Amino acid sequence: MANMSPKKQIMPSQDPAIRANNFKEVALGYTKEMAIEEANRCLHCKNMPCVSGCPVHINIPDFIQKIKEEKFEEAYDIISASSSLPAVCGRVCPQESQCECLCVRGKAIKVKSEAVAIGRLERFVADYHNNNCKELPKRVESNGHKVAIIGSGPSGLACAGELAKSGFDITIFEALHLAGGVLVYGIPEFRLPKDIVEKEVNNLKALGVTIKTNVVIGKTLTIDELFEDGFEAIYIASGAGLPKFMNIDGEGLNGVLSANEFLTRINLMKAYKADSSTPVIHAKKVIVVGGGNVAMDAARCAKRLGADVTIVYRRTRAELPARAEEVEHAMEEGINFIFLSNPVKINGDENANVKSITCIRMELGEADASGRRRPVEVLNSEYDIEADCVIMALGTSPNPLIKSTTEGLEVQKWGGILADEETGATSRKHIFAGGDAVTGAATVILAMGAGKKAAHAIKKDILGE
Ligand SMILES: Cc1cc2nc3c(=O)[nH]c(=O)nc-3n(C[C@H](O)[C@H](O)[C@H](O)COP(=O)(O)OP(=O)(O)OC[C@H]3O[C@@H](n4cnc5c(N)ncnc54)[C@H](O)[C@@H]3O)c2cc1C
């Protein structure tokens, strides 16, 4: 029966005061009853506007219909026909700016209504499947064609899944010791438990995908050597893992680090566990500079390690690029925010340890090319904030290693590989690229969408179809 409630089913979650001290998952997931209740809010619109907001085009109304009918495995089959990482996307996709922002329920004029909780329903279905179905996907007979993929983040995994389902022999080369890219080294356990990523990776292995870890393409092997080894096409999905700094005085002091390094120590190397041998800074007063998901993740990790944490952001709350839910969760957990402020220098003590940060106040001026109002410094408004650790979360760019070791591979001025938006084709024949390596830091689902598109182009390239 249709549920006309204007509100989504609330997501059960850990109490903020408790979760701010542990790394367990914050959101606990819908029960079966809640999922059905929420599914009944879907109007199953004929023109399916939500689907056009999904970069991998999941048939959203149909999978939700299956939830209404309590056919959860059938719902899973519909989602997994389009997405190789449903349990991941159900947790971290910015649905509010994709599928859910086009949902007709969220646009009802007379009553202020919320969109159907598509992401939460996707997560419910994927978790139901993972908890109840132990069967692994079946390997397709090989067509004898070999494709190499560089990087095991969402883009590489999506491309691998798509090609393996068509019988290609896929080898992923990954620089780190674990597969998953940002899903394992960046996004914290409390947002995306690592056993979920592992399950998704195991599904791909069952499809016949080989993953070779600890192989840095550009150092261990070059792209040209991969061709010599018999790979007929290559998909570069090496992400954008090179952190940016502000180039201000004091960035060399002890206690200043990039969010990438801090998060990698905590997530990939499990530095938060008592028995971990990975060192991590245990600071009392941490300043995180930035306003994206990375800043929220770094701040919430520092909080869980016992620090008093403040995020410094140069615009206002309205311009924060992080997902709304992550900002709310950070605020609930007691993270402080200072808006309209920008660091101008970091100050050290006699031992070259951070002791404070000098910021300048900002105001919003005219809109810039991105449409956001440009922050402008307020003259003579500098002030100091005490801190013993500063984490820079200012964005990342692609690592230049692959470009510098691959002749003829063209990149843009800022380092992103030049690739066709529809096919991922690069300036070199049989080399394709996608995800953050092409766009710069973006989202999981966009990286997956690029991986899928490139897989179709690679099939055509090799089979000539
Ligand atoms: C902390 C953090 C939080 C985020 N939160 C969200 C979120 O909530 N929602 C969202 O949608 N997006 C989020 N993002 C962005 C999202 O994770 C990325 O857009 C996405 O992971 C990009 O996927 P990718 O496959 O292109 O690259 P990556 O995930 O970066 O994977 C690239 C892989 O390539 C490997 N590699 C690099 N160079 C080489 C080489 N030379 N040889 C072999 N392997 C190599 C890397 O080790 C890595 O494993 C977040 C990012 C970060 C850093």
Amino acid at 13: S
> Cα separation of 299 and 286, whole Å?
8
- Is the distance from the beta carbon of residue 95 to the nearest atom of ligand 1 less than 6 Å? no
Q: Ligand 1, from 293, 401, 402: best to mutate by most atoms within 8 Å of Cβ?
A: 293
**Could you give the CA distance from residue 66 to residue 74 in angstroms, rounded to a whole number?**
6
Q: How far apart are CA 388 and CA 310, in angstroms?
A: 12
Is the distance from CB of 347 to CB of 384 less than 8 angstroms? yes
Q: How does residue 324 score in pLDDT terms, banded at 50, 70 and 90?
A: confident
Domain 245-394 has CATH 3.50.50.60: yes
Higher pLDDT, 214 or 368: 214
Shortest-distance Cα residue to atom 19 of ligand 1: 443
Centre of ligand 1 from the C-alpha of residue 437, in Å: 9
Q: Among 3.40.640.10, 3.30.420.130, 3.50.50.60, 3.90.580.10, what is the CATH number of 146-241+397-463?
A: 3.50.50.60
Element (H, E) at 332: helix 324-332
Mean of pLDDT over the chain: 95
**What tokens does 167 get?**
């019988």
Q: Which amino acid is at 459?
A: K
Mean pLDDT over 85-112 rounds to: 87
Chain centroid offset of residue 27 CA: 17
Residue from 301, 317, 319 nearest 309 by CA: 301
What Rg, from alpha-carbon coordinates, does the chain have? 23
Other beta carbons less than 10 A from residue 28's beta carbon: 11
How many beta carbons lie within 10 A of that of residue 409, not counting itself? 19
Q: What is the pTM of this model?
A: 0.94
Quick: pLDDT tens for 427-456.
999 999 999 999 999 999 999 999 999 999
Q: Is the pLDDT of residue 218 over 60?
A: yes
What is the amino acid identity at position 130? N
Return d(Cα 51, Cα 349) in angstroms, integer.
55
Given the CA of residue 263, which atom of ligand 1 is nearest to it?
1
Q: 16-132 falls under which CATH superfamily? A: Alpha-helical ferredoxin (1.10.1060.10)
**The two three-digit tokens of residue 424, written as one number:** 């991922």
How far is the C-alpha of 260 from the C-alpha of 374, rounded, in Å?
26
Is residue 237 in contact with ligand 1, taking CB distance under 6 Å?
A: yes
What average pLDDT score do residues 201-217 get? 96
Q: How distant is the alpha carbon of residue 23 from its chain centre?
A: 18
* Residue 204: both structure tokens together: 């791909």
| Backbone CA torsion sign across 358, 363, 366, 370 | positive
* Residue 391 backbone zone (phi > 0: left; psi -120 to 50: alpha; other: beta): beta
In contact, 412 and 418? CB cutoff 8 Å: yes
- Closest C-alpha to 336, from 261, 387, 380, 273: 387
Percent of the chain with pLDDT over 70: 99
Burial of 311 (0-12, 13-18, 19+ CB in 10 A): buried
- Model pLDDT, residue 279: 86
Ligand 1, atom 49, lies closest to the CA of 181
Q: What integer is the mean pLDDT of 135-154?
A: 95
Q: What letters, b where the CB count within 10 A reaches 16 and e where it falls short, cover 217-242?
A: bbeebebeebbeeebbbbbbbbbbbe
In this predicted model, what pLDDT tens digit does every residue of 363-394 receive, in sequence order? 999 888 878 889 999 999 999 999 999 999 99
Arithmetic mean of pLDDT, 409-425? 97
What is the whole-number distance in angstroms between the Cα of residue 55 and the centre of ligand 1?
17
* Extents of the domains making up the chain: 16-132, 146-241+397-463, 245-394
Length of the chain: 465
Tokens of 213: 């870890």
Residue 112 confidence (pLDDT): 76
Q: Which segments within 245-340 are labelled E, that is strand?
A: 256-258, 285-289, 308-312, 336-338
Instruction: Tell me whether domains 146-241+397-463 and 245-394 share a fold.
Output: yes
**Cα–ligand 1 centroid distance for 272 (angstroms):** 21
The reply to whether ligand 1 has any atom less than 6 angstroms from the CB of 402 is: yes
Task: List 386's β-bridge partners, or say none.
Answer: 356
